[in-house]
Amino acid sequence: MQKKPLILVTNDDGITAPGIRMLIQIMNKIGDVVVVAPDSPQSGMGHAITVNNVLHCNPITIDEGPQIEYSCSGTPADCVKMAKTEILNRTPDLCVSGINHGSNSSISVLYSGTMSAAIEAGIEGIPAIGFSLLDFDWHADFRAAESFIKKIVLNVLLNGLPEGVILNVNIPKLKKNEIKGIRVCRQANGFWKENFDKRKSPYGKDYYWLTGEFINKDNGQDTDIWALENGYISMVPVQFDMTAHHAIQKLNTWDL
């Protein structure tokens, strides 16, 4: 009998979030599932790891199912490290992170705990995918994406990924019959123009809420933003080698 693939599932919205509960259901149809996810929301944590506090990681049962689950007090990256070194008895065949409530396209990939968990898995030599749905609603409908998520996962299990490459998959907020398909894209050139909403507490102290708008500087039709705005699921291969290789030759002309 062929051994089922071992799939590690994690996220940044917390282990009880509807997005990860749906992802667990989908992965249960494909392989043996172990879940290690934060015990509370960790959105926007990026690739933070816990170094000044202890970590707790405890077995938990949330939904009926064959999956084995652990709730971790740390960040998404902590969860992957904990799974790899302390919980699993072999290297997973795949790590999937999400499904995130909200977009992680363009520059948001740098801030995303969802993608940082996937990137941490990639660093550990585990093929990895981060999934995000462009709907921040806690009760977002993830069902339209199920068949596309399965297709991507099965392709990764069959074909593997290039060394050091992780997939960033974003899904538009559309019904299943409205999604046109999957497009392999590049990351759009955009940024967040932040503002801080300054307020005053009842005790007279200032406090701030971070707000802002996304500025897309990219008119290309091969970007993740274009794909999402035109009804496609975007799939961007990303890497953790952040070397700007194209700049090396120029810097070597300096008088150093």
State pLDDT tens for residues 35-45: 999 998 888 77
Residue 211, judged by CB atoms within 10 A of its CB (0-12, 13-18, 19+), counts as: exposed
When pLDDT is averaged across residues 180-192 and rounded to a whole number, the result is: 89
For residue 248, the model assigns a pLDDT of 97
pLDDT tens-digit map of 199-235: 999 998 998 888 877 777 778 899 999 999 999 999 9
Indicate whether 1 pLDDT > 60. no
Instruction: Name the token pair of 173.
Output: 């907020």
Q: How many CB atoms lie within 10 A of CB 107?
A: 17
Question: Hey, which residues does 196 pair with through a beta bridge?
Answer: 210
Residue written as token pair 């971790």: 72
| Residue 58 and residue 87 in contact, taking contact as beta carbons nearer than 8 Å | no
248 contacts: CB under 8 Å, gap ≥ 6: none
What the chain holds in terms of domains, given with CATH numbers, is 6-187+220-251 (3.40.1210.10)
Residue written as token pair 């072999």: 90
Residue written as token pair 């975007």: 234
When pLDDT is averaged across residues 145-171 and rounded to a whole number, the result is: 97
Sign of the alpha-carbon torsion through 181, 185, 187, 193: negative
Residue written as token pair 């740098």: 110
Measure the CA dihedral 241/131/150/148, to 10°: -110
| Residue 204 and residue 212 in contact, taking contact as beta carbons nearer than 8 Å | no
Q: Residues of the chain with pLDDT > 70: what percent?
A: 99
When pLDDT is averaged across residues 1-15 and rounded to a whole number, the result is: 90
Residue written as token pair 């099965």: 154
Indicate whether 2 pLDDT > 70. no
Distance (Å, whole) CA 28 – CA 34: 10
User: H or E element: which one contains 152?
Assistant: helix 146-159
Spatial strand order in the sheet of 232-239: 57-59, 68-72, 32-38, 6-10, 94-101, 128-133, 165-171, 232-239, 181-184
